[in-house]
Amino acid sequence: MPQLDKNHNRIPQWLKRNLAPADSARNVHKALDKLQLNTVCQSALCPNRQECWASGTATFMILGDACTRNCRFCSVGHEGIRPPDPHEPEKLVEAVKSLGIKHVVITSVTRDDLEDDGAGHFARCLELLHESQEGITLEVLVPDFNGRESLIKRVLDASPDIYSHNLETVESLTPKIRSRARYDLSLQVLKTAKRHKPDIYTKSGIMVGLGESFPEIEKAMDDLRAVSCDILTIGQYLRPTLEQLPVVKYYNLDEFKIMEQGALARGFKQVVSTPLARSSYHAEKVFQHIV
C-alpha cells in the first residue's frame, strides 16, 4: 500500500527517508540529553535529523523549547515558557567541543516575553564559542526581534559568519501561516543586518507546498535579492502533525531544479533547493562554497 501523509495524500518517493539511527546519531543524541540542550532537529521534527546527527552535527535551539508564537506550519510547542537557562551558553560550548563541530548553527524559539527578545543570550553564546575555539564558524538563524535594530546589531556585534532569518512563505500566505510575523518586517531584518555589517553573509529560507504560485515564489526571490540576501534554501513543506496545516502540493524534483536555476539567475551566491532542504541543511557545505 502506498505511504500516505496525515492528509491522506500520497507521499512522493523522493520524500521517503530511512530514519534508522546510526551509532554516530545516537552519540549526538546522548550528548544533547546529557547537557539538556534542545535542537530544532527534535523540536521541529526535521526529516533530516538522522542524516545530520549521523554526520556528527546538529542545529542547536537556545532559549528553551516553547515559543511565544504559534505559527501554523511549526510543531515547536508554545506552552510552559520558562526563563532562559543562564548556563546554556557554557553547555553549548561543551557540546560543540565534545562533538567536534566546526560550523555551528544556532537558532531559537521566539521569545517576545523577554525584554531583549533573547538577543543578549544569542550574543553570549556566540561570544563564548569564539573564545573557546579558533577557526570555528558560526551561523545564527534568528527570529525577527520585532524589527528592533538595536537587538539585530547586538547579535551582529558578536560576529556570526552567517546571519539568517527565514521569510518562510510568500507574501499572500504570510498572515495565514505565520503568527505575528510580517513579510515586510522579515525583509527589513535582513536589510538591517546588511546595513550594519555589509560584509556578512545573509541567508533566508522558504517552504513550498502551502498553496503558493510559481510567480509568487519568484517574487519572494526578487524581494530577498532586493535586500541583498546571499543564500536561499527552498524546501517542501511537510505537515508535522495534524495540528498544522495540510500540504496543498508536493513539488517534483524538476520543479525544485527550476526554482534553483531561477534563484541563481537572480544573483544568490548559494541556493539549496531540494524537497528536504531546511534552513540549516548542509549548512557547513554551503558556507564552504561561499567563502
Q: What pLDDT band is residue 285 in, cutting at 50, 70 and 90?
A: confident
Based on its alpha-carbon atoms, the radius of gyration of the chain, rounded to whole angstroms, reads: 18
Percent of the chain's residues with pLDDT above 70? 83
| Higher pLDDT, residue 59 or 159 | 159
Q: What pLDDT band is residue 160 in, cutting at 50, 70 and 90?
A: very high
224-243 pLDDT per residue, tens: 999 999 999 999 999 988 88
Percent of the chain's residues with pLDDT above 90? 65
Q: Cell numbers of 49, please?
A: 535529523
Please tell me what DSSP assigns to residue 36: T
How far, CA to CA in Å, does 247 sit from each of 11, 39, 254? 10, 24, 19
| Higher pLDDT, residue 187 or 9 | 187
19-290 CATH pick, 3.30.9.10, 3.20.20.70, 3.10.20.740, 3.40.190.10:
3.20.20.70
pLDDT above 90 for 280: no
Task: Over range 161-185, report the average pLDDT.
Answer: 97
Q: Positive or negative, the Cα torsion across 164, 159, 52, 32?
A: negative
Residues facing 270 on adjacent strands: 231
104, 103, 84: which is closest to 92 by C-alpha? Answer: 104
| Higher pLDDT, residue 147 or 37 | 147
Residues facing 107 on adjacent strands: 61, 141
Q: Where are the domains of the chain?
A: 19-290
Strand positions, DSSP E, 182-252: 201-208, 231-236
pLDDT of 2: 34
268, 121, 148: which is closest to 206 by C-alpha? Answer: 268
How far, CA to CA in Å, does 58 sit from each of 48, 101, 167, 188? 10, 9, 22, 28
Query: CB neighbours (10 Å) of residue 103?
Result: 19
pLDDT above 80 for 187: yes
Q: What pLDDT band is residue 78 in, cutting at 50, 70 and 90?
A: confident
242-271 pLDDT per residue, tens: 889 999 999 999 999 999 999 999 999 999
Task: Over range 167-183, report the average pLDDT.
Answer: 96
Question: What is the helix (H) or strand (E) element at residue 138, kind and residue range?
Answer: strand 137-141
Query: CB neighbours (10 Å) of residue 249?
Result: 14
Q: How far apart are CA 137 and CA 103, in angstroms?
A: 5
95-139 pLDDT per residue, tens: 888 888 888 999 999 999 999 999 999 999 999 999 998 889 999
Task: Over range 262-291, report the average pLDDT.
Answer: 90
Q: How far apart are CA 54 and CA 33, in angstroms?
A: 16
pLDDT of 52: 57
DSSP-assigned states of every residue in 183-199: HHHHHHHHHHHHHH-TT
Q: Which residue has the cell 561543551?
A: 94
Q: How far apart are CA 14 and CA 276, in angstroms?
A: 9
19-63 pLDDT per residue, tens: 545 555 566 667 667 777 776 555 545 565 555 544 545 688 899
